[in-house]
Amino acid sequence: MKRLMLLRHAKSDYPAGVSDHERPLGPRGRRDAPRMGQQMARRALLPNHVIASTALRTRETFTLIEPYLGPHSLRYERAIYEASPEAILRVIRAVEPTVASLLIVGHNPGLERTASFLVKGGGTAADPLDEKFPTAALAVLDFEIGDWATITGHQGELVLFLTPKMLDA
């Protein structure tokens, strides 16, 4: 079994004259990211391996959740930045089969589309991924596969979809 966690970066800021790739987190993002990290730890959602976009806002998001994660390896990957679902899937399929739990920290719309593609029965009225994949949202999917190279559409079980707004409720 493999577990895939897809975390969208926390809310970013839009400073004038800063490229999209170098946009930092805003105040809400700096508040929400550690809260999501705490929830990951509380729920034992601890990745063996993390792949994060090279964008500043994803690096800052990961820095704020990392203290709550157990031991893991980390790789920053430019291919996750502004990536299509196909590009994200290529990155996932290249992960070593020894990795049981993988966290991808990236962006929309790529993460949302990837999650929707991977979930069994995606597109149903009860599918929480059809609503929105807001900043700092986390989707957790389990797969009955032995190797990341075999991951394909509509075979994942969505076991959790969590947003910062849900933590406030």
Q: Which domain covers residue 91, as residue numbers?
A: 2-168
- How many residues are given for the chain? 169
- Would you say residue 50 has pLDDT above 50? yes
Query: How does the average pLDDT of the chain come out, rounded?
Result: 93
| Count of domains for the chain | 1
The pLDDT value recorded for residue 111 is 94
Distances 48 to 3, 70, 73, 74 between C-alpha atoms, Å: 10, 8, 6, 9
- Considering the entire predicted model, what is its pTM? 0.94
CB atoms within 10 A of CB 121: 10
Task: Annotate 87-148 with DSSP letters as a single string.
Answer: HHHHHHHTS-TT--EEEEEE-TTHHHHHHHHHBTTTTSTT-GGGT---TT-EEEEEE--S-G
In percent, how much of the chain has pLDDT > 90? 88
Per the CB < 8 A criterion, the answer to whether 21 and 54 are in contact is: yes
pLDDT (0 to 100) of residue 22: 96
Q: Is the pLDDT of residue 168 over 90?
A: no
Residues 27-44: tens digit of each pLDDT: 999 999 999 999 999 999
Helix (H) or strand (E) holding 15: none
Q: Is residue 128 pLDDT above 90, yes or no?
A: no
Residue 88 sits in a domain of what CATH number? 3.40.50.1240
Give me the mean pLDDT over the 109-122 stretch.
88
3-state secondary structure of 77: strand
For residue 126, the model assigns a pLDDT of 44
Work out the burial of residue 35: count CB atoms within 10 Å of its CB; fewer than 13 is exposed, 13-18 middle, 19 or more buried: middle
**124 pLDDT more than 90:** no
Q: Does residue 136 contact residue 164 with C-beta atoms inside 8 Å?
A: yes
Q: Is the pLDDT of residue 130 over 70?
A: no
Both tokens assigned to 149 = 């190279």
